[in-house]
A and B are shown apart, each in its own frame.
Chain A
Amino acid sequence: MKFFKRFYIGLIFTFLYAPILILMVFSFNDSKSRGRWGGFTLKWYADLLQDREIMSALYYTILIALLSAAIATLIGTVAAIGIHGMNRFIRGAIINITYLPVLNPDIVTGISLMMLFVFVKMERGFLSLLLAHITFNIPYVIFSVMPKLKQMDKHLYEAALDLGAGPLYAYRKVILPEIMPGVVTGMILAFTLSIDDFVISYFTAGAGVSNLSIIIHSMARRGINPTINALSTLMFTAVLILLLIVNKRAGNGYDKKTKNNFEEEIAI
């Protein structure tokens, strides 16, 4: 029975990791065609730095992810605080509206934003891409912050006011530290969603500006350049190392956290 369990787990993880392994192996392949092994090389890694198209896509991917995560976190956190203070009826309505972009198929969000940009005759490019990313990121920030606000003792804020703190000061010194874990979670979530997005970017980006997903999609027609494999291998390894460090550092106190992480990951 134990053997069978191990075998089954092994099988599924082979299924999940086979394509990733293939990608990584072929980033060292000295032949441009996928499927043929032409010996070991590091030239794709060297090419990576020279490749204007990929480097610019990487730059835009990261820039858009950072900006959209930061702006969405700002708007979302403030919005969560505001929504929290509303009466039940309005709050319910707004929360339902906030759910809409989360539940809506990406393709519908993508084309609806595309229609908006075309309709107002805004040229599609960096700004439209950024606006789109902020839009789909905000709800995730709100849903990360809201639970923290609910858990918080509401008298803390009042106590701060009684002790002479101004409202802004009380927000900064009392409420913000309390909800910080939710804010950080929301920001990380927004960042990764933005990096990973293809569908919405595909419809809202213009000719001049592409992110990595868009580049990969257009390459898929004419054959993917192994340089992309090299880049993904590097990014994947970086994430892996980062996660291992976090996992190790968190150590025993991790169990409670994993539970929270789950909910976030599931939300992705």
Chain B
Amino acid sequence: MKKSWVAYPYLVWMILFMLIPLLLIVFFGITERSGDGIIFTLENFKRFFEPIYIMVLLRSLYLALISTIVCLIIGYPLSMILAGRDYRHKRVLILLLVIPMWMNFLLRTYAWLTLLEKNGVINSIITFLGLPKADLLYNQGAVVLGMVYNFLPFMILPIYSVLIKIDKSVIEAAEDLGANSRTIFRKIIFPLSLPGVVSGITMVYMPAVTTFIISRLLGGGQFTLIGNLIEQQFLHTGDWGFGSALSIVMMLLILFSMAIMSKYEKEHEGGGLF
């Protein structure tokens, strides 16, 4: 099986459609067209450090962080319940967790408008109960809700898959030795589940930082995230240089954090992305 040349078509494909496009981004990010041809510049990156753009980056990181924390707080207990030894329907429930992803995510996010809007379903229920209407849409809360809604399964699944692998006899041994359920959780279950938590965090945080659709639909265009900014540069402003610089920054940010996370995962084995 030493015929490695059969991989060459793939390599050519990747060079054409992945490496060259990425090099194009780098090229447009660091050059500028002026009277006498194309010159090297770091102007685009300098522009990124203007306060408005730094604010956009910070806002993206902040909203993604909040969503990740909420996913973890909501998702961890659910993974524990599902992984619990006394839970019979876990297979069906896990399937139910994945099934929503089969419906177009734009449409699912859009459906939240019907639920949250001024005369929407939730407000109808609230007024029916005799309470004043609430402003649920077009604020940060709505954006976070959209992120949590879309990415929650990505938090639950990796944690669950690590939790079910925990050797039950370890827990029994701790019980025999007189540990109460709280100590067992703190000293055994939680530390052993950390690899799953780490990949869950990665899988929620990364797409949340880069999204531009959730913030547009549920934020009503008031919450420009870095994804929105990049999209604007390419499709509306036509400023490829600045757009490329933003993409480079975002890409490095993501790949760098991925590298740290995967290093952690390797050290602790299991729970990985693949």
Interface residues, chain A, CB within 8 Å of chain B?
Answer: 5, 8-9, 12-13, 15-20, 22-23, 26, 34-36, 75-76, 78-86, 90, 94, 97-98, 100-101, 103-109, 111-116, 119, 131-132, 134-135, 138, 142-143, 154, 157, 167, 175, 192, 196, 198-199, 203, 212-213, 216-217, 220, 224, 228-229, 232, 235-236, 239-240, 243, 247, 254-255, 258-259, 262-263, 265-268
Contacts and interface: CB of A to CB of B under 8 A. Distances in A.
Contacts of A213: 104, 106
Contact of B254 (A90, A103, A116): A103
Contacts of B24: 112, 115-116, 119
B53 interface: no
Contact of B25 (A26, A108, A167, A229): A108
A255 B95 CA distance: 12
A237 B243 CA distance: 40
A212 B250 CA distance: 28
Contacts of B14: 97-98, 135, 138
**A interface, over-half SS:** helix
Interface string B123-162: 0000000000000000000000000010011100110010
A9 B13 contact: no
Contacts of A217: 106, 213
Contacts of A220: 106, 110, 217
Given A135-B13, A143-B274, A82 B4 contact: yes
B103 A266 contact: no
Nearest to B234: A111
Contacts of B94: 258, 262
A9 B78 contact: yes
Given A217-B213, A243-B95, A115 B203 contact: no
Nearest to B122: A18
Interface string B92-104: 1111111111111
Given A111-B247, A236-B103, A247-B95, A79 B9 contact: yes
B81 A79 contact: no
A131 B13 CA distance: 10
A19 B149 contact: yes
Given A217-B106, A266-B273, A22 B115 contact: yes
A115 B19 CA distance: 12
A97 B10 CA distance: 11
B45 interface: no
Contacts of B114: 19, 22, 26, 34-35
A8 B77 contact: yes
A16 B149 CA distance: 7
A119 B25 CA distance: 11
A240 B99 CA distance: 7
A115 B82 CA distance: 45
B240 A267 contact: no
Contact of B251 (A76, A105, A255): A105
B188 interface: no
A229 B105 CA distance: 13
Interface-centre pick from B10, B100, B258 (highest chain A CB count, 10 A): B10
Given A16-B96, A103-B255, A131-B17, 9 more contacts: A23-B107, A35-B120, A103-B258, A105-B209, A105-B250, A135-B18, A217-B213, A243-B95, A247-B92
B166 interface: no
B136 to A, nearest CB: 13
Given A22-B114, A23-B107, A97-B14, A115 B28 contact: yes
A240 to B, nearest CB: 7
Contact of B230 (A80, A107, A154): A107
Contact of A115 (B25, B84, B157, B254): B25
Contact of B3 (A35, A85, A199): A85
A78 B6 contact: yes
24 contacts: A12-B74, A19-B108, A23-B103, A23-B107, A26-B114, A35-B121, A75-B9, A81-B6, A100-B18, A105-B209, A106-B210, A107-B210, A107-B230, A108-B230, A111-B230, A112-B18, A112-B21, A135-B18, A138-B13, A196-B101, A196-B105, A203-B235, A213-B106, A266-B199
